[in-house]
């Protein structure tokens, strides 16, 4: 038996109000199913379940407001009824431990979204297989093991590396979302404001920021976008933002120290999940994550944006899209300020800011010309990295944007 807990959708979330159960006792659930709708400071969020099994009992009634980490339902995870006994034996120590970690006493950055960290089924893989999978960014949950008792071994991972074509994360995003009526959001504008306020205050209070910025000549990138858009339909057209996200993700591959969180120490993340700031018409911002952005093509990122931005504005994001980002990118778009110096979203250690693209006099090789220029900035957590790291990142970012065809 597993407890389904009120997840944390960010460092600033303390509690949530259950709006509706999407499942009832006895219903089968599989990992990724929407089990409930919860009203948070960030609006109405569909909450996914991370276990396979059956809903055993619902512990919270609609309308109840409960702290992060509260058990909301019990999920029976055994394969059969007989499997139940064994699971129950395991239940006590596991859930006790989770409770201890999760107790939302005060604003604590190590309250991570636990459901993701403790997926219901442990994957059996050899240490070597795990190491190779990690190095090659292979998702072990997608591999069938051929080792002892179905354990994943080196050969299985190597086979998966060979077979890897398009990154499979794409399908998650294109999954059909259940239709639902956008209501109850009217008063969420205020709470989003409060959530932003809490996170940014914390950031400013605790994170010693350093700032670097670099002017980048965008003529090659814009030309590349123009050329590839010639072959695309109106709906498929690329925006510079998609290219910028890809360029940032690719640059992070080379400077992984910035794709990290600070929790008493620098913890570098394996996946590069770029949080993209979307401003809401009602005020406030949402930061949906484009997961594994480094593995996606520019058009795949554009597709993600086309999917995520309207849903963010309609506050129809899923929990996994809100709590997985490992770095934040914020871009002002056309016609605004030249430079944006961002405030880091804790516990991340960097935020990348882009001003508008403007034409500027540009001197190069002793010649003067007019170029479209973007001002890229990096706000870094000085506890985690130093200016030299940030400097390297901006240099690589510039190089990547000069070679858009390689992105």
Partner 1 sequence: MSQTRKITYREALKEAIREALTENDKVFLMGEDVGRYGGAFAVSKGLLEEFSEERIMDVPLSESGFVGAGIGAAMAGLKPIVEVMTVNFGLLAMDQVVNNAATMLHMSGGQINVPVVIRMSCGIGKQLAAQHSHSWEPYYAHVPGLRVISIGTHEDARGVLQAALQSPDPVVIFEYTSMLNMEGELPEETIKVDIESAKIRREGTDISIITYGAAVNKCMEAAEELKVEGIEAEVLDLRVLRPLDEAAFLASVSRTHRALIVEDAWRSVSVSSEVSARITEKAFYELDVPVKRVCGAEVPIPYPLHLEDASVPQKKDIVEVVKKMIRP
Question: Which residues of this protein are in contact with partner 1, per CB under 8 A?
Answer: 126-131, 146-149, 151, 153-154
Tell me whether residue 130 or residue 209 sits nearer to partner 1 (CB atom): 130
Instruction: Report in angstroms how near the CB of residue 294 gets to partner 1 at its nearest.
Output: 23
Tell me whether residue 80 or residue 144 sits nearer to partner 1 (CB atom): 144
Instruction: Report in angstroms how near the CB of residue 149 gets to partner 1 at its nearest.
Output: 8
**Number of C-beta neighbours around residue 311 at 10 A:** 17
Tell me whether residue 103 or residue 158 sits nearer to partner 1 (CB atom): 158
Instruction: Report in angstroms how near the CB of residue 158 gets to partner 1 at its nearest.
Output: 11
Tell me whether residue 104 or residue 147 sits nearer to partner 1 (CB atom): 147
Tell me whether residue 129 or residue 357 sits nearer to partner 1 (CB atom): 129
Instruction: Report in angstroms how near the CB of residue 116 gets to partner 1 at its nearest.
Output: 23
Instruction: Report in angstroms how near the CB of residue 160 gets to partner 1 at its nearest.
Output: 15
Tell me whether residue 127 or residue 366 sits nearer to partner 1 (CB atom): 127
Tell me whether residue 130 or residue 184 sits nearer to partner 1 (CB atom): 130
Instruction: Report in angstroms how near the CB of residue 2 gets to partner 1 at its nearest.
Output: 27
Tell me whether residue 11 or residue 125 sits nearer to partner 1 (CB atom): 125
SS (H, E, C) the chain: CEEEECCCCCCCCCEEEEEEECCCCCCEECCCCEEEEEEECCEEEEEECCCCEEEEEECCCCCCEEECCCEEEEEECCCCCCHHHHHHHHHHHHHHHHHHHHCCCCCCCCCCCHHHHCCCCCCCECHHHHHHHHHCCCCHHHCCCCCHHHCECHHHHHHHHHHCCCCCHHHHHHCCCCCCCCCCCCCHHHHHHHHHHHHHHHHHHHCCEEEEEEEEECHHHHHHHHHHHHCCCHHHCCCHHHHHHHHHHHHHHHCHHHCEEECCCEEECCCCCEEECEECCCCCEECCEECCHHHCCHHHHHHHHHHHHHHHHCCCCEHHHHCCCCEEEEECCCCCCCCCCCCCCCCECEEEEECCCEEEEEEECCEEEEEEEEEEEEEEECCCCCHHHHHHHHHHHHHHHHCHHHC
Instruction: Report in angstroms how near the CB of residue 140 gets to partner 1 at its nearest.
Output: 14
**Number of C-beta neighbours around residue 164 at 10 A:** 14
Q: From 249, 248, 214, 211, select the one nearest 379 (Cα to Cα).
A: 211
Instruction: Report in angstroms how near the CB of residue 135 gets to partner 1 at its nearest.
Output: 10
Instruction: Report in angstroms how near the CB of residue 257 gets to partner 1 at its nearest.
Output: 22
Tell me whether residue 67 or residue 147 sits nearer to partner 1 (CB atom): 147
Rounded to an integer, what distance in angstroms lies between the CA atom of residue 261 and that of residue 325? Answer: 10
Rounded to an integer, what distance in angstroms lies between the CA atom of residue 33 and that of residue 178? Answer: 10
Tell me whether residue 22 or residue 124 sits nearer to partner 1 (CB atom): 124
Instruction: Report in angstroms how near the CB of residue 128 gets to partner 1 at its nearest.
Output: 4
């Amino acid at each position: 038996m597993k407890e389904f807990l009120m997840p944390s959708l960010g460092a600033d979330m303390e509690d949530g109000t259950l709006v509706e159960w999407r499942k009832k006792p006895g219903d089968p659930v599989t990992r990724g199913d929407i089990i409930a709708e919860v009203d948070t400071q960030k609006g109405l969020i569909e909450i996914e379940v991370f276990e396979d099994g059956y809903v055993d009992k619902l512990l919270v009634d609609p309308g109840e407001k409960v702290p992060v980490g509260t058990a909301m339902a019990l999920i029976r995870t055994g394969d059969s009824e007989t499997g139940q006994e064994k699971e129950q034996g395991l239940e006590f120590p596991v859930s006790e431990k989770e409770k201890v970690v999760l107790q939302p006493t005060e604003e604590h950055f190590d309250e991570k979204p636990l459901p993701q960290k403790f997926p219901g089924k442990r994957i059996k893989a050899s240490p070597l297989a795990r190491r190779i999978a990690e190095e090659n960014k292979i998702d072990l949950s997608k591999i069938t093991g051929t080792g002892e008792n179905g354990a994943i071994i080196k050969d299985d991972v190597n086979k998966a590396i060979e077979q890897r074509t398009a990154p499979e994360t794409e399908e998650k995003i294109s999954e059909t979302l259940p239709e639902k009526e956008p209501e109850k959001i009217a008063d969420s504008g205020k709470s989003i404001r409060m959530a932003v306020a809490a996170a940014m205050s914390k950031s400013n209070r605790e994170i010693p920021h350093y700032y670097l910025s670099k002017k980048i000549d965008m003529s090659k990138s814009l030309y590349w976008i123009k050329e590839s858009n010639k072959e695309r339909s109106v709906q498929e057209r690329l925006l510079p933002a998609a290219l910028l996200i890809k360029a940032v993700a690719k640059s992070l591959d080379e400077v992984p120290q910035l794709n990290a969180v600070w929790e008493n120490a620098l913890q570098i993340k394996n996946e590069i999940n770029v949080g993209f700031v979307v401003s809401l018409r009602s005020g406030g911002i949402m930061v949906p994550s484009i997961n594994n952005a480094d593995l996606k093509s520019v058009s795949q990122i554009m597709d993600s944006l086309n999917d995520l931005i309207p849903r963010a504005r309609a506050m129809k994001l899923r929990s996994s899209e809100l709590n997985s980002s490992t770095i934040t990118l914020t871009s002002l778009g056309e016609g605004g300020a030249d430079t944006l110096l961002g405030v880091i979203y804790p516990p991340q250690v960097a935020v990348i800011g882009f001003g508008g693209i403007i034409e500027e006099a540009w001197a190069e090789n002793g010649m003067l010309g007019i170029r479209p220029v973007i001002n890229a900035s990096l706000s870094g957590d000085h506890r985690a990295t130093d200016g030299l790291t940030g400097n390297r990142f901006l240099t690589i970012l510039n190089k990547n944007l000069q070679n858009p065809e390689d992105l």
